[in-house]
Structure 1
Amino acid sequence: MVRAGLRAVLASDPEIEVVAEAGDGAEAVEVVVRYRPDVVLMDVRMPVLDGLAATAEVKRLVPETSVLVLTTFSEDEYVARALGGGAVGFLLKSGDPRELLAGVHAAARGAAYLSAKVAERVIAELNRGPGGSRMARGAALRGRVDALTARERQVLALVGRGLSNAEIGRRLHLVEGTVKSYVSSLLASLGVRNRVQAAILAYESGLVGLDPADDGG
């Protein structure tokens, strides 16, 4: 029933084609290897192989495929773990269908996509962990962000808003290859593995609320 609902929403967008479905995590990995789609919608709770393990396996076997994780409010800890598995975005199963379409398009462009409600809850979950209070963690993260160059902070702010490299290039009047170099540099400097981890950090540090045009020119 869930898959049928998702298929109906996706079918409403003429730019999206559903090429395959899977009933469990192992089957999901198999169909991704077979069809090599641009984007995968991955549920967290699935039989045989759960969504977290399936996401990591998909990224290992077909790294060019972007994985969007479907979650519920009761699965915050799984979302935090999925960050390390290579997922590029997180959506609520009960969210607005328009958000689902926006997330698929963003993932297809190579951008990170975070449902605003999911981002808030993931950040809250992280702040309950070893990093300490929200204030202490935010201060520590701001220190890491402040160590970036002004241009890297501009790029990070736009990554946090879900923009792709091409979109960032147009906003900052840079060629896409230069943006890619900036993204690689800031990921290494921040010690994060992918764009969605960088987006979460941008949220936590308060950088997303910043207008890039005001951050150092």
Structure 2
Amino acid sequence: MTIRVLLADDEAMIRAGIRAILGTDPGIEVVAEAADGHAAVESALAHRPDVVLMDVRMPRLDGLAAAAELRTAAPEIAVVARVGRGLSNQDIATELFLAEATVKAHVSTILRRLALRNRVQAAILAHEAGLSDS
């Protein structure tokens, strides 16, 4: 099974770097890239990726607003929904065929980029942005 990924970041170098990293895994295919939130939503609806990796701060439509639109328009992007319900690092690692240490590193990076101290603050941010069910 191949995991189909959409990359969304306004920095072309960041997208290229992530694409290069993901390209080393034969089980992951980057199916599309987007430079802003609107393009991310359009690409996700056109390509129906399994996972969308999206920067929070992008022009035209930020990542949180784009994720909220995707959640409404394409609820079948299931990994995002399952992560939002509180999966552990090991659960996420298993779902995405990654090492748990890799997941921990990505979670730490996400928290740092959002200037959050922990997952509780991330859950509150997601709730306030309309990205969670509760």
Scaled by the length of structure 2, the TM-score of the pair is 0.58
Q: Residue deviations 1:178-198, cap 9 Å, x none?
A: xxxxxxxxxxxxxx727xxxx
Task: Please state how far the C-alpha of 1:123 moved relative to its aligned partner.
Answer: 4.3
In structure 1, C-alpha distance between the alignment counterparts of 2:79 and 2:23, rounded to whole Å:
19
Residue number in structure 2 paired with 1:58: 70
Residue number in structure 2 paired with 1:3: 15
In terms of Rg, which structure is larger?
Answer: 1
In structure 2, C-alpha distance between the alignment counterparts of 1:103 and 1:6, rounded to whole Å:
20
Distance 1:124 1:20, change over 3 A: closer
The match for 2:133 among 162, 186, 193 is 193
Residue number in structure 1 paired with 2:30: 18
Question: Structure 1, unaligned stretches of length 5 or more?
Answer: 69-85, 90-101, 108-112, 130-191, 195-217
Residue number in structure 2 paired with 1:105: 96
SS at match of 2:31: coil
Residue number in structure 2 paired with 1:72: none
Q: Residue deviations 1:169-211, cap 9 Å, x none?
A: xxxxxxxxxxxxxxxxxxxxxxx727xxxxxxxxxxxxxxxxx
In structure 2, C-alpha distance between the alignment counterparts of 1:40 and 1:22, rounded to whole Å:
10
| In the alignment, structure 1 residue 34 sits paired with structure 2 residue 30 | no
Residue number in structure 2 paired with 1:121: 117
Q: Which residue type is aligned with residue 122 of structure 1?
A: N
In structure 2, C-alpha distance between the alignment counterparts of 1:33 and 1:19, rounded to whole Å:
12
Structure holding more helix per residue: 1
Residue number in structure 2 paired with 1:212: none
Q: Which residue type is aligned with residue 28 of structure 2?
A: I
Query: Would you identify which runs of 4 or more consecutive aligned residues in structure 1 move more than 3 Å?
Result: 113-120, 123-126
Distance 1:46 1:67, change over 3 A: farther
Question: Structure 2, unaligned stretches of length 5 or more?
Answer: 1-12, 85-92, 125-131
Structure holding more strand per residue: 2
In structure 2, C-alpha distance between the alignment counterparts of 1:67 and 1:49, rounded to whole Å:
22
* Aligned sequence identity (%): 50
In structure 1, C-alpha distance between the alignment counterparts of 2:33 and 2:14, rounded to whole Å:
11
Q: Which has the higher contact order (CA 8 A, sep 6+)?
A: 2
Q: Which residue type is aligned with residue 59 of structure 1?
A: R
